[in-house]
Amino acid sequence: MNISNQEYGRIVKRVSPPSSMTKTIPMAFVVGGAICVLGEALLNMYGAIGFSQDNAGAMTSLTLIFLSALLTGLKLYDRIAQHAGAGTLVPITGFANSVVSPALEFKSEGYVLGLGAKMFIIAGPVLVYGISASIIYGVIYYIQTLL
Amino acid sequence: MSVCEGKTFRYSNASIISYGSVAGSVESEGPFGDEFDEIIKDNKGSAQTWEQAEALFQQKALKHAMDKANLVPEKMDLVFAGDLLNQCIGSSCGLKDYYIPFFGIFGACSTFAEGLILAGAMVNAGYVDNAAAVTSSHYSSAERQFRFPLNYGGVRTPTAQWTATAAGAAIISASQKPPFIKAATVGKIEDMGITDANNMGAAMSGAAYDTISRHLKHMSSHPEDYDAIITGDLGEVGSNMLYELFKRDGISIEQHHKDCGLMIYDREKQDVHAGGSGCGCSASMMCGHFLKHVENGDLKRILYVATGALMSPTIVQQGESIPGVAHAVEITYK
Amino acid sequence: MDLFLDYLWAFLVGGALCAIGQVLIDLTKLTPARILTSYVVAGVVLGALGWYDPIIEVAGGGATVPLTGFGNLLAKGVRRAVDENGLLGAFMGGFTSAAVGVSAAIFFGLIASLFFKSGTKINEK
């Protein structure tokens, strides 16, 4: 080839279409905001019927995760996500979708090695690094309490 | 540094006597939806899994091709088949019930041209009477192998391409009936340093440029000598890239160029980003659309250049770049 | 009126957190899985620094529903567990506070896959 990879890469950059950020960002904002408003409404509702603040929060997560699992099963979550982008990714519903969708997908390879083993193929890193970060913080916090 | 030029094969006695195509729902809604021999609306047919669905597509595509030529599997001497799945199981599962001598081939999305070249060569050499080339791809089986679960709401970048759910089969024989395979140039592996698995068009266009350039040089022909130069699935980015590369040589191929990846879907209405891809994409477009028009003489001379991104999820995760390959087949009315 | 303001803040803060994620997707090579991971870790860090609770004060669901809120929950759980159990608590708090979310996702995922199969996206713009 009579062209260097550097030069080639430069031309690729020029001819590749950029994301239409004027569309994607407002969509992410609106859909993500709407999911959070739903969360807020659930939080208020569970608070009003007598749950403690912590438990109302947990009930809200539980409800949102249930809804996300249902919408994922009905093949609606990914359809909304096609337009909403990070708006459906960042909320806890996105985490649920990333657990439920591999469960559906890899069921065909069996309930143990398919569904069971591959459920956390996307969400696994979230737990690995989230939990590890919390342990590191716990150790630092413990040392602080000693001082 | 001396560069291997390769050879352009000349065929004297290889005709595509029959061809068949099968497509899925998204493809059926594209501009060429009514040209395919069969549409499987639910993308699955009688299959239980997506892998079996892809196998079914391949099985049906070859069946359509055999039926049109009044051939039965016992009359077939050889089949070259391939797909995108690991170990090419779409081909081996799909064609196993035919008991036709079988070569599994892999060239990513370039596989259909690879099959045509090899089948044509075996017929032209006189080793066999009837040889077939079959390839398929399936959006759902490709997604779960290469990317994410189908119902995961991950976002696709604008340069990403949509794997076509389709299959194509062509039967090659010594015959006086067009379309004829006239010449072919085998592509070299060209690694342009592209590491983004969502920009496969860019990874392939270097290989397409190299193969087309060599083919034109060996045939002493020019882009305007062809009614169409049809690339497999460069998509929007890869096609633009191809024009840029030829522009550097002072050659303009835009007016003669068509890309199956850009044609198979209605990109205004369908959310396929940079276009279609997969070895079923150009196979179904050739067998559903282009070969028909060469057979009836609307197109006198075409250059079919199937392009493949030789991508493996493993090497992409390891940060390696994606090599590309492109094979050219010259198909003529006379 | 107060209630309306609550919802407005939830919408604005939650929307903004998602919009930041979208900017990262559009401008960088970060894959969705990396964004999820970074959000949770960022939440742990913000929670550890004590910067996240004030955001929750204002935005409520707008701050707890995005995954940064999940990270903050992990930090909070660890802090509480260390207060009660000393160093051992560092290994307890995270999973304790994440228990509901993770268990729910696992269980509903399993239930969903008993009733549904994966299916092709309907391809419309």
Contact between chains at B151 and A80 (C-beta distance less than 8 A): no
Tokens 């209630």 correspond to C3
Give the number of domains in chain C. 1
Q: How far apart are CA A31 and CA B146, in angstroms?
A: 28
| Chains touching B (3+ CB pairs < 8 Å) | A, C
Closest-CA residue of C relative to A29 is C15
Q: Does A8 touch chain B (CB under 8 A)?
A: yes
Q: How far apart are CA B259 and CA B230, in angstroms?
A: 5
Read off φ and ψ for residue B39, nearest 5 degrees.
-115, 130
Question: What is the count of residue pairs from B and C with beta carbons less than 8 Å apart?
Answer: 35
Find which of B159, B194, B271 to mutate to test the C interface (most C CBs within 10 Å of its CB).
Answer: B271
Q: What is the pTM of this model?
A: 0.93
User: Looking at the domain assignment, is residue C17 inside a domain?
Assistant: yes
HSE-CB of A89 using CA atoms within 13 angstroms: 36
Q: Who among B148, B209, B240 is closest to A15 (CB)?
A: B240
Question: What type of residue sits at position B203?
Answer: A
Closest-CA residue of C relative to A39 is C61
Burial class, B201, CB count within 10 angstroms (exposed 0-12 / middle 13-18 / buried 19+)? buried
Say if residues B212 and B328 touch (Cβ distance below 8 Å): yes
Residue A147 pLDDT grade (very low, low, confident, very high; cuts 50, 70, 90): confident
Q: Which domains does chain B have, with CATH numbers?
A: 8-173 (3.40.47.40), 180-332 (3.40.47.40)
Range with lowest mean pLDDT among B141-145, B196-200, C25-29: C25-29
User: Looking at the domain assignment, is residue C106 inside a domain?
Assistant: yes
Contact between chains at C33 and A142 (C-beta distance less than 8 A): no
List CB contacts (< 8 A) between C35 and chain A. Answer: 86, 89-90
- Nearest residue to A142 (alpha-carbon basis) of C90, C91, C49: C90
User: Looking at the domain assignment, is residue C120 inside a domain?
Assistant: no
Q: Does A126 touch chain C (CB under 8 A)?
A: yes
List CB contacts (< 8 A) between A81 and chain B. Answer: 153-155
pLDDT of B230-283, one tens digit each?
Answer: 999 999 999 999 999 999 999 999 999 999 999 999 988 888 889 999 999 999
User: Looking at the domain assignment, is residue C105 inside a domain?
Assistant: yes
Contact between chains at C66 and A86 (C-beta distance less than 8 A): no
How far C113 CA sits from the closest chain A CA (Å)? Answer: 5
pLDDT at B227: 96
Contact between chains at C29 and B29 (C-beta distance less than 8 A): no
Which domain range does residue C56 map to? 2-115
- Nearest residue to C60 (alpha-carbon basis) of A87, B50, B332, A38: A38
| Chains touching A (3+ CB pairs < 8 Å) | B, C
DSSP B28-73: HTSTTGGGSSEE-TTS-TT-SSHHHHHHHHHHHHHHHHHHHTT--G
Beta-bridged to residue B180, according to DSSP, are: B15, B332
Closest-CA residue of A relative to C113 is A104
Reported ipTM: the value is: 0.93
User: Looking at the domain assignment, is residue C102 inside a domain?
Assistant: yes
User: Looking at the domain assignment, is residue C122 inside a domain?
Assistant: no
- Nearest residue to A140 (alpha-carbon basis) of C93, B51, B129: C93
Q: Is the pLDDT of residue B1 over 50?
A: no
- Nearest residue to B185 (alpha-carbon basis) of B4, B333, B311: B4
Q: Is the pLDDT of residue B5 over 90?
A: no
Contact between chains at B154 and C31 (C-beta distance less than 8 A): yes
Q: Is the pLDDT of residue A16 over 90?
A: no
Query: What is the rounded average pLDDT for all residues in chain B?
Result: 94
Say if residues B182 and B11 touch (Cβ distance below 8 Å): yes
The mean pLDDT of C43-61, rounded to a whole number, is 95
Residue C47 three-state SS: helix
Tokens encoding B228: 């169409």
Find which of C40, C55, C65 to mutate to test the A interface (most A CBs within 10 Å of its CB).
Answer: C65
Q: Who among C47, C67, C112 is closest to A104 (CB)?
A: C112
- Nearest residue to B316 (alpha-carbon basis) of B145, B107, B74, B88: B145
User: Looking at the domain assignment, is residue C64 inside a domain?
Assistant: yes
